[in-house]
Chains A and B, each alone.
Chain A
Amino acid sequence: MAKEIYSTYPMVKYLRKEALPTALCPGCGGGTVLNAFANAVDQLRIDPKDLVVVSGIGCSAWIASPYFLADTLHTTHGRAIAFATGVKVGLPDKKVVVISGDGDLASIGGNHLLHAARRNIDITVILVNNFIYGMTGGQVAPTTPFGAKTTTSPYRNIEHPLQISETVAAAGASYVARWTTAHVYQLIESIKKALQVKGFSLVEVISQCPVQYGRRNKMKEPAEMLRWFLKNSVPVGKAKKMSPEELEGKFIIGEIINRQRPEFTEELNKLIDEVQEHFGLKGE
């Protein structure tokens, strides 16, 4: 049965077996994200001992914590990046990864997201954008498309969604990319890049929540949502030539930004070195 499948699945070696099966609904995009992340770690041959995974609260926060077999810190709603900041300063040589939802990271946690990008601290954030608050029952989110129905916008959503990747890129991140769960191979490549970039990196994954979002917006089946992603995805290059009106309701996919900027923990350690040097405290 299910167990059989897991035991032949090569990525299972990265999972905390005693925590399985996952709590995610069948057809949830979270599984794809976990799969992509495990594959990225595998392809880069990162030893999970060199990883610390931090998450907030929500379905998406569960993707890697508790399931991924590494040091995992499951924090309060919205605060994962701030917790991860402390971890990274303490363990600058480890890969610190945050995996959580759009509500968690961009709504309640929006402030930490912007400031981590501004500081350019070397943390990789995988933000799962399912347009909804899944765990709490499908309420409207800051990413819910204009006009969509949710349990707290039962007539239609009259707010405009936040363009997370563009905002984070503008705030100062080193690397930002956006893909959907229908672009698995590109997603893996971007997660790999993000993990290798020295600086703040964000991979936004447009993901399906058939249970809370799809069901209320004429896409009950996970596959319908994936088809919706494919049909409406526009590569960044092409999007540059399109008007805001043409881009309404479209998902811009690809690398939004990829640049080098001084990284926070390196600068912090450099500063400490300089101060110790200045006061003649080196080599004490």
Chain B
Amino acid sequence: MIIRGDEPEQLRLLKRLYKPGNYFLQGNEAVAYGALFAGCRFYAGYPITPSSEIAETMARELPKLGGYYLQMEDEIGSIAAMVGASWTGFKVMTATAGPGFSLMQENLGYAVMTETPLVLVDVQRSGPSTGQATKGAQGDFFQARWGTHGDHPIVAVSPISVEDAFWETVRAFNISEKLRTPVVVLFDGVLAHTREQIKIPDVEEIEITYRKLPKNEEEAKLPFGDPHGDGVPPMPLFGHGYFTHVTGSTHKENGLRDVYTPEVHDRLVRRIHRKIEQNKHVYEKYEEYFTDDAEILVVSWGVTARPSLGAVLKAREEGTRVGLFVPKTVHPFPGKRIKELGKKVRAILVPEMNLGQLILEVQRFVNDDVLLKGVNKIGGVPLTVEEILREIRGVA
């Protein structure tokens, strides 16, 4: 069995095609290159602003690497094709935005339930509905978390710059492969269309992981078991004679449907949750600036993190003891760390390009005596350093 993109000649191809060095890339291109370096060799998508350049880059580059670009008839078909391809051993990705992400939700749940690795990039745009189709936003924080039905875990990462988009995409693939689960990349229209210099490293410097495959026939017979106690079953790929049955219905360890026994559902869904909970070390990531002595904390994610840092730096110059916390994996939310920080500060500001979403997660972990305030801006224009600084001054 082989994971496509894993072959030694792939490394040589990547080295030939993308020389290490500085590149001037758009955020969307950085996502696409991150995917290619991570081993993605199958992309199925449907164009939507502001994500389309990801599809365009993949359509241009994938064939060079022997990979497949499919433009499907819609977003539902795109994620469906990805699941099918993932079961044949491909690392797979799609990119979409607002309405497309909504359409993908049912099959995102299917991927969670069938433990299918895939990476879904949501280039957030202004909504609800068609909203401001070409403008960036951060309004899908909870769509990523709760968009599909039922009790399910989800992992979502969120890059803060063009260079970071490259690395977070690589990381999304690694998490997805390691935990046999879909991973959402919550990107945004602003960074997607920003051009910045990014350093592309030598392929060999990038740590790449591949999904666990069954060691023997016995493991292959239990595609939804937990032989290693880490909650992650080895994945028997299609086409190798294992006669694997995969269904989105509640299934036993051997894959066969059983929707009548409460214990079977309980065991399956709890294991899928436990798999994410107990493997925090695989995905948890956040950045902290000046949090040691901070009495005011700014918590910010994605595109808003950089103006937040700018504001924090300026406020520091003014003598304000303010720190910054940036979750890079936004789901599951690093609540434990926020709780610790929340005990040390008297005020928390949460800047984001929406009317208050991340702030609800923060709120769950801080006491009432902390002043908690959102800094919210909608309309498709990102928050500026000045706007955030003004709010910091307001609580200083």
Alpha-carbon distance between A276 and B13 when the two chains are bound, in angstroms: 10
Chain B hits for A89, CB < 8 A: 42, 68, 70, 81, 85, 88
Chain A hits for B240, CB < 8 A: 49
The listed residue (B63, B70, B88, B247) touching A87 by CB distance below 8 A is B88
Alpha-carbon distance between A50 and B13 when the two chains are bound, in angstroms: 31
Report the stretch among B71-79, B179-187, B267-275, B337-345 that lies at the interface: B71-79
Give the shortest distance, in Å, between A51 (CB) and chain B (any CB). 10
Chain A hits for B83, CB < 8 A: 73, 75, 83, 86
Alpha-carbon distance between A143 and B73 when the two chains are bound, in angstroms: 23
The answer to whether A86 and B257 have CB atoms under 8 Å apart is no
Report the stretch among A26-34, A62-70, A125-133, A177-185 that lies at the interface: A62-70
The listed residue (B107, B239, B254) touching A79 by CB distance below 8 A is B107
The listed residue (B16, B82, B84, B257) touching A281 by CB distance below 8 A is B16
Chain B hits for A48, CB < 8 A: 243
Alpha-carbon distance between A65 and B86 when the two chains are bound, in angstroms: 19
Task: Check A260 for interface membership: any CB of B closer than 8 A.
Answer: no
The answer to whether A281 and B13 have CB atoms under 8 Å apart is yes
- A 127-173 contacts with B by CB, 8 A: none
The answer to whether B64 and A279 have CB atoms under 8 Å apart is yes
Task: Check A248 for interface membership: any CB of B closer than 8 A.
Answer: no
Task: Given A72-B246, A90-B89, answer yes or no on A85-B64 (Cβ-Cβ < 8 Å).
Answer: no
* Sampled A-B contacts (13; CB under 8 Å): A18-B254, A73-B87, A73-B246, A74-B247, A75-B80, A75-B248, A85-B84, A86-B44, A86-B83, A90-B4, A90-B84, A111-B77, A271-B63
Interface flags, B212-227, vs A, CB<8A=1, else 0? 0000000000000000
Chain A hits for B107, CB < 8 A: 76, 79
Alpha-carbon distance between A19 and B92 when the two chains are bound, in angstroms: 31
Task: Check A91 for interface membership: any CB of B closer than 8 A.
Answer: yes
Task: Check A106 for interface membership: any CB of B closer than 8 A.
Answer: no
Task: Check B245 for interface membership: any CB of A closer than 8 A.
Answer: yes
Chain A hits for B257, CB < 8 A: 66, 74
| Interface residues, chain A, with chain B CB atoms under 8 Å away | 16, 18-19, 48-49, 52, 54, 65-66, 69-76, 78-79, 82-91, 94, 111-112, 114-115, 268, 271-272, 275-276, 279, 281, 284
| Interface residues, chain B, with chain A CB atoms under 8 Å away | 4, 9, 12-13, 16-17, 42, 44, 63-64, 66-68, 70, 72-74, 76-78, 80-90, 92, 106-107, 110, 238-249, 254, 256-257
The answer to whether A112 and B245 have CB atoms under 8 Å apart is no
Give the shortest distance, in Å, between A201 (CB) and chain B (any CB). 18
The listed residue (A70, A83, A114) touching B243 by CB distance below 8 A is A70
Chain A hits for B92, CB < 8 A: 86
The listed residue (B64, B77, B243, B248) touching A82 by CB distance below 8 A is B77
The answer to whether B72 and A71 have CB atoms under 8 Å apart is no
Chain B hits for A54, CB < 8 A: 84
Chain A hits for B17, CB < 8 A: 279, 281
Give the shortest distance, in Å, between B244 (CB) and chain A (any CB). 5
Task: Given A48-B243, A71-B238, A71-B242, answer yes or no on A90-B66 (Cβ-Cβ < 8 Å).
Answer: no
Residue of A nearest to B247 (CB): A74
The listed residue (A19, A74, A91, A268) touching B239 by CB distance below 8 A is A91
The answer to whether B85 and A87 have CB atoms under 8 Å apart is yes
The answer to whether A85 and B245 have CB atoms under 8 Å apart is no
The answer to whether B246 and A90 have CB atoms under 8 Å apart is no
The listed residue (A49, A72, A86) touching B88 by CB distance below 8 A is A86
The answer to whether B66 and A276 have CB atoms under 8 Å apart is yes
Give the shortest distance, in Å, between B340 (CB) and chain A (any CB). 41
| Inter-chain residue pair count (beta carbon < 8 A) | 149
The answer to whether B239 and A82 have CB atoms under 8 Å apart is no
The answer to whether A91 and B9 have CB atoms under 8 Å apart is no
Alpha-carbon distance between A87 and B90 when the two chains are bound, in angstroms: 10
Given A76-B80, A112-B73, 20 other A-B residues pairs in contact with their CB atoms under 8 A? A16-B256, A49-B243, A71-B238, A74-B246, A74-B248, A75-B83, A75-B110, A76-B106, A79-B80, A82-B78, A83-B80, A86-B70, A86-B85, A89-B88, A91-B88, A91-B238, A268-B68, A275-B63, A275-B64, A284-B16
Chain B hits for A82, CB < 8 A: 72-73, 76-78, 80-81, 84
Q: Which 4 A-B pairs have the closest CB atoms?
A: A90-B88, A86-B84, A82-B80, A86-B85
Alpha-carbon distance between A18 and B12 when the two chains are bound, in angstroms: 47
Alpha-carbon distance between A82 and B94 when the two chains are bound, in angstroms: 14
Alpha-carbon distance between A49 and B67 when the two chains are bound, in angstroms: 25
Alpha-carbon distance between A281 and B72 when the two chains are bound, in angstroms: 27
Give the shortest distance, in Å, between A47 (CB) and chain B (any CB). 9
Residue of A nearest to B44 (CB): A86
The answer to whether A112 and B77 have CB atoms under 8 Å apart is yes
Chain A hits for B254, CB < 8 A: 18
Alpha-carbon distance between A69 and B246 when the two chains are bound, in angstroms: 12
Alpha-carbon distance between A268 and B69 when the two chains are bound, in angstroms: 9
The answer to whether B76 and A66 have CB atoms under 8 Å apart is no
The answer to whether B76 and A71 have CB atoms under 8 Å apart is no
Give the shortest distance, in Å, between B122 (CB) and chain A (any CB). 19
The listed residue (A49, A90, A115, A275) touching B85 by CB distance below 8 A is A90
Chain B hits for A71, CB < 8 A: 87, 238-239, 242-245
Give the shortest distance, in Å, between A239 (CB) and chain B (any CB). 30
Alpha-carbon distance between A284 and B11 when the two chains are bound, in angstroms: 10
Chain B hits for A74, CB < 8 A: 245-249, 257
Give the shortest distance, in Å, between A174 (CB) and chain B (any CB). 19
Q: Which of B9, B44, B63, B84 has the most CB of A within 10 A?
A: B84
Task: Given A66-B257, A79-B107, answer yes or no on A87-B80 (Cβ-Cβ < 8 Å).
Answer: no
